[in-house]
């Protein structure tokens, strides 16, 4: 890769890391504040999707879009931070799929479980939300796994891959163990995912210059 192109890719990757971290922190802040502000919901039992309906819902919808931007930005950023010979488009595509599904999740009003006919929007939400979770966690796993073979990213492999595996397993525990409090178990998965995303964004912000040569 010519030096000028490498420098542009480096600057782009670091900038994307900064943007992704800001978006992750914005989502975390809004989602956390709403746990206390929404007195009408039991945070232990109510999944985060319930906060997309009712008072202050717009704030969370915007935060969801910010998180979707973070996912797409991380995918593109790690792609830019890798030399062409070692690049794979698959992690980036999975992050983009997760981002698109998350945006749809934010816009399609969920079923609050109060009886009555399930709306089309609720059906769309019910499809998009699992795709967002699955696409994101698979992207995390694959991106972390690729760290192990790259001398410039290998130092992040153990933490990145270990946390990604924990997120993936926790997601399936939440999905299959229905006796768990739905809100608490879902939010635990989200917190773990946010931790990985924040770490990854921080690593991307400090992309080693030599990694692009």
Note the pLDDT tens digit of each residue in 4-53. 667 788 889 999 999 999 999 999 999 999 999 999 999 999 999 999 99
Determine the Cα–Cα distance for residues 189 and 172; give it in Å rounded to an integer. 10
DSSP characters over 136-161 = HHHHHHHHHHHHTT-TTTGGGHHHHH
- What are the boundaries of each domain within the chain? 3-212
Question: pLDDT per residue over 120-151, tens digit each?
Answer: 989 999 999 999 999 999 999 999 999 998 88
Contacts of 206 (CB under 8 A, 6+ apart): 14, 17
């Amino acid at each position: 890769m010519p030096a000028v192109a490498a420098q542009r890719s480096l600057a782009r990757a670091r900038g994307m890391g900064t943007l992704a971290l800001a978006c992750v922190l914005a989502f975390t802040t809004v989602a956390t504040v709403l746990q206390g502000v929404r007195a009408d919901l039991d945070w232990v039992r109510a999944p985060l999707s319930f906060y997309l309906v009712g008072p202050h819902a717009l704030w969370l919808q915007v935060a969801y879009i910010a998180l979707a931007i973070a996912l797409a930005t991380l995918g593109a950023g790690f792609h830019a931070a890798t030399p062409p010979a070692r690049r794979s488009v698959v992690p980036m595509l999975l992050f983009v799929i997760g981002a698109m599904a998350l945006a749809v999740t934010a816009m399609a009003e969920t079923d609050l479980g109060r009886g009555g006919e399930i709306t089309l929007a609720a059906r769309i939400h019910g499809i998009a939300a699992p795709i967002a979770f699955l696409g994101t966690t698979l992207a995390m796993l694959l991106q972390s796994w690729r760290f192990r073979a790259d001398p410039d990213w290998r130092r992040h492999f153990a933490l990145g891959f270990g946390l990604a595996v924990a997120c993936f397993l926790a997601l399936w525990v939440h999905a299959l163990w229905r006796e768990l409090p739905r809100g608490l178990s879902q939010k635990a998965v989200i917190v773990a995912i946010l931790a990985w995303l924040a770490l990854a964004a921080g690593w991307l912000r400090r992309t080693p210059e030599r990694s692009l040569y």
